[in-house]
Amino acid sequence: MYDVIILGSGPAGLTAAIYCGRANKNTLVLAGSVLGGQTGEIAVLENYPGWAGSGMELIQFMQKQAETFGAKMKYAQCQNIVFNDDKTFGIVCDNGETLQTKSVILATGATARKLDIAGAVEFFGRGVSYCATCDGFFYSGKDVIVIGGGNSALNDALYLSDLAKTVTIVYRKPSFTRAEAVLCDRVASKENINCMYNTELKSISAYENTDRLLVKTKDDAEIICDGVFVAIGHEANTDYLSESVKRDEMGRIIPDSLPDGMFVAGDVHSGIKMQIATAVGTGCSAGMDAIAYLNSKE
């Protein structure tokens, strides 16, 4: 029986693990299949105070901190949460295990929203990607498209511009109103980045008998490229929860709907900005709340 199981190994989950470990609570981080979530995919992390390096380097540093204070890591995903009669929880994992715990911190984050047009599924992994830092290397010297207009899309475009021959940002609105000014300025200064505003895609298909892609827009314009990188937002990872747990319009968890002994942190928490700094703050709060809950039961 664990004192607390933390679902998720991003900044929120690992911050909670540091606090719970330091309070001498028997703490397990259920890390999922990949350490760090979205943060682990950030090539250059500039807006987290006090840190200069990649997202994965930050995550690995936080992991070591948590382990120093006794937190344990397990690479598995939660499939279901069982509410036991004694007000403890059973965490049903995808590896067949069911782990018992007195409290749970939900820090499962969010996943990139999928592109819903013809060819997007067919060409996933064969030209369509949702991770620029994972797949950018394969497009060195080639022509790529980035879909989206927020910080993630512009960061992806900037990263790819150092690898690819050309980068074309396709955005459905007339300007990058959702992105930070510093990123907009950097994109504007890059000679190999072009922007197509007021544009939405209709389909992706193979271009003749080549490995290239033919991308068509809703106004029937055609773009020939080698890769399409999608950055159109995220959806909260909450499939393991029952419908009794209330979500907001983005599918994120409303804390007041959670039963005693269950807490939420990070991008899956409703009403917060999806930033590393806010994830760390909610991880701190969730960890301290879990500690107080456990102490009240002793």
Q: Do 118 and 202 contact (CB within 8 A), yes or no?
A: yes
Mention every residue, 6+ apart, whose C-beta is less than 8 A from residue 181: none
121-148 burial, b at 16+ Cβ within 10 Å, e below that, comes to eebbeebbbbebbebbeebeebbbbbbb
Report how far residue 83's alpha carbon sits from residue 103's, in angstroms, rounded to the nearest whole number: 11
Q: Kindly calculate the radius of gyration of the chain based on its CA atoms and give it in whole angstroms.
A: 21
Report how far residue 214's alpha carbon sits from residue 223's, in angstroms, rounded to the nearest whole number: 6
Q: Which two tokens stand for residue 6?
A: 């933390």
Look up tokens 């809950």; give the residue.
Answer: 293
Q: Which two tokens stand for residue 215?
A: 């991308």
What DSSP element (H or E) covers 153? helix 151-161
Look up tokens 């928490």; give the residue.
Answer: 269
The two beta strands, 89-93 and 78-83, are: antiparallel
Which residues are known catalytic residues?
131, 134-135
Dihedral sign from CA coordinates of 203, 205, 207, 211: positive
Mention every residue, 6+ apart, whose C-beta is less than 8 A from residue 210: none
